[in-house]
């Protein structure tokens, strides 16, 4: 994984990964850099761009042994994060796939606002564009772009920036 560019204001960073293992390493490293107070991340990109692979890497780095697949038909999957050496920052990984939704109000019956407001939840939302009106202010966006068979460009910044 290579960091290839930073914007002048430091708010946006760009990375290139060339394999699933590099994506998982990026997810592990990204997890270590999440500032306290941030727990909602929007994963944007076309089908096959690496969003679910990123979530799988996060789950692996958090010690989750359950197989992680995109919750396209169930909309949301929750995974308990095991304690490591008696501590953990987040208690749950909440993986949401909004692909089948059309507008923000459709996600609210999942107790979406409460889920995002709970600092013990690490919330990863695929297809946030579908429910943008429901996304909390301050959420961060991670954009995934398919370059070729194994290469992905990942851009991280503030939502709406």
Q: Residues 118-143: pLDDT tens digits?
A: 999 999 999 999 999 999 998 999 99
Domain coordinates in residue numbering, the chain: 2-158
Q: Residues 28-39: pLDDT tens digits?
A: 999 988 988 899
How does residue 88 score in pLDDT terms, banded at 50, 70 and 90? Answer: confident
CATH superfamily of the 2-158 domain: P-loop containing nucleotide triphosphate hydrolases (3.40.50.300)
pTM score above 0.85: yes
| 6: pLDDT strictly greater than 50 | no
Kindly compute the dihedral angle of the four CA atoms of residues 114, 122, 95, 101, in this order, to the nearest 10 degrees: 40
| 56: pLDDT strictly greater than 70 | yes
How does residue 87 score in pLDDT terms, banded at 50, 70 and 90? Answer: low
Sign of the alpha-carbon dihedral angle for 71, 73, 75, 81: negative
pLDDT confidence of residue 86: 66
Query: How many other CB atoms are found less than 10 A from the CB of residue 83?
Result: 10
How does residue 145 score in pLDDT terms, banded at 50, 70 and 90? Answer: very high
């Amino acid at each position: 994984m290579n960091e290839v560019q930073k914007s002048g204001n430091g708010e946006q960073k760009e990375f290139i990964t060339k394999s699933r293992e590099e994506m998982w390493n990026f997810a592990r490293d990204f997890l270590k850099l999440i500032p306290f107070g941030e727990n909602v991340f929007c994963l944007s990109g076309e089908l096959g761009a690496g969003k679910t692979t990123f979530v799988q890497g996060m789950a692996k780095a958090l010690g989750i042994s359950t197989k992680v697949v995109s919750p396209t038909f169930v909309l949301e999957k929750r995974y308990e994060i095991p304690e490591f050496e008696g501590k953990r920052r987040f208690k749950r990984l909440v993986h949401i796939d909004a692909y089948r939704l059309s507008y923000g109000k459709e996600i609210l019956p999942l107790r979406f606002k409460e889920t995002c407001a709970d600092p013990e939840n690490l919330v990863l939302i695929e297809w946030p564009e579908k429910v943008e009106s429901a996304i909390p202010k301050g959420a961060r966006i991670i954009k995934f772009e398919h370059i070729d068979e194994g290469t992905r460009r990942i851009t991280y910044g503030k939502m709406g920036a």
